[in-house]
Amino acid sequence: MRILMVGAGGVGDAAARIAVERDFFELLVVADHDEQRATATVAAATARREGEARLLAARVDASRSEQVEALVREHGITHVLNAVDPRFVMPIFRGALAAGADYLDMAMSLSQRHPEEPYARTGVMLGDEQFAMAGDWERTGRLALVGIGVEPGLSDVFARYAADHLFSEIDELGTRDGANLAVHDEGGNEVFAPSFSIWTTIEECLNPPVVWEKERGWFTTPPFSEPEVFDFPEGIGPVECVNVEHEEVLLMPRWVDAKRVTFKYGLGDEFIGVLKTLNTLGLDRTEKVRVGGVEVSPRDVVAACLPDPATIGPRMTGKTCAGLWVTGTGKDGRPRATYLYHVADNEETMREYGAQCVVWQTAVNPVVALELLARGTWKGIGVLGPEAFDAVPFLELLAAPKPEGYGSPWGLEDRPAATPPSA
């Protein structure tokens, strides 16, 4: 396997550090618009393993599919891993297809609101542009594995596992994400510093959330709707979660039978307040405005003013939890409610990988998927989500102790079926 990874930001950097410990690939080209950043990632990853020489750095403009295609052809790439924000999904997606390589990403093509009823009806949904090209991927015999980060990604693997092994009938597949993370300044004071790309966070949190119901199909609600307090495991505790636009809701119903699919994110009052203020001031806009003779995107300015999520790890404490709350009827015919989850502790990921926990938790899953594809354990053609594959090999490889696996266990917690998530 010969991999081109586009993006050497926080997630890309963590993915390289994780992958270098494994033997399933012969080449990993790390490409970024800033070649110095790609070079730094290669140096940091290579230093983790004596005699390592499989990583190379390159420059690429991810907005230009022809540059992606050229890099694939130059290095004989078999798999393209997209590790940049979703603005660049389609150029990378098209570049990989044109060059005859398989493709993986952690976020899907962007949505567009319904022009008349944005908070009731869907417009262009996340991933629609990619699924529209499924026939092209099928005709070429290539695979585009979409949404294989942690959310989407591991949460979708959990959905497949729940359907195959835990439930005979599923009422709701509810992705629930929460954390007790805190970032501090040099004086020890807690500061506002998002742990993931603020560009992507603004996109998914201020867009109309999508919900899927079997009797209704996909529909939208206002941002931050249906608040609930969810009790997260391993010491994180209760966190208020709200509906957010996310790929799981667009992926899971395509392969897993359920009556309802939702995604709720534990944002907290402060974060919701900041997002609402950005929206009120128009600072969430991506369309460029003229300022002093220069055209800039307000959202890009916001991102530039906040700390880079890749750099805040040393000042961060706490844990993050990604998981799937599943309710319905168990294999024994009795009501069942189960939370399948994965927790990452920032202290551990910083100590072992020099990567903060949110980006590390996102990055480990596409590396696991690449290894399963290299082994031939996962196979497929067309545009497929993680739900289209057997979940057991993925979960076993993720949890198995090193060096056989990735040494990152996941959890399963049954709760009384009649008890709400906050109990």
pLDDT tens string 322-362: 999 999 999 999 999 999 999 999 999 999 999 999 999 99
pLDDT confidence bin for 213, thresholds 50/70/90: very high
Residues contacting 70, CB < 8 A, separation 6+: none
Domain ranges in the chain with CATH number 3.30.360.10 = 154-357+409-415
Cβ count near 180 (within 10 Å): 16
pTM here is 0.91
The whole-angstrom separation of Cα 237 and Cα 178 is 9
pLDDT confidence bin for 189, thresholds 50/70/90: confident
The whole-angstrom separation of Cα 349 and Cα 63 is 31
Domain ranges in the chain with CATH number 3.40.50.720 = 2-105
Coil, strand or helix at 181? coil
H or E element in which residue 229 lies: strand 228-232
User: What does the pLDDT read at residue 278?
Assistant: 86
Cβ count near 387 (within 10 Å): 24
Higher pLDDT, 3 or 417: 3
Q: Does 63 score more than 80 pLDDT?
A: yes
The whole-angstrom separation of Cα 376 and Cα 25 is 13
User: What does the pLDDT read at residue 423?
Assistant: 38
The whole-angstrom separation of Cα 118 and Cα 32 is 35
User: What does the pLDDT read at residue 304?
Assistant: 84
Q: Does 422 score more than 60 pLDDT?
A: no
Domain topology for 154-357+409-415: Dihydrodipicolinate Reductase; domain 2 (3.30.360)
Domain topology for 2-105: Rossmann fold (3.40.50)
Q: For residues 95-107, give the mean pLDDT.
A: 98
Percent with pLDDT over 90 in the chain? 79
User: β-strands 210-213, 217-220: how paired?
Assistant: antiparallel
pLDDT confidence bin for 421, thresholds 50/70/90: low
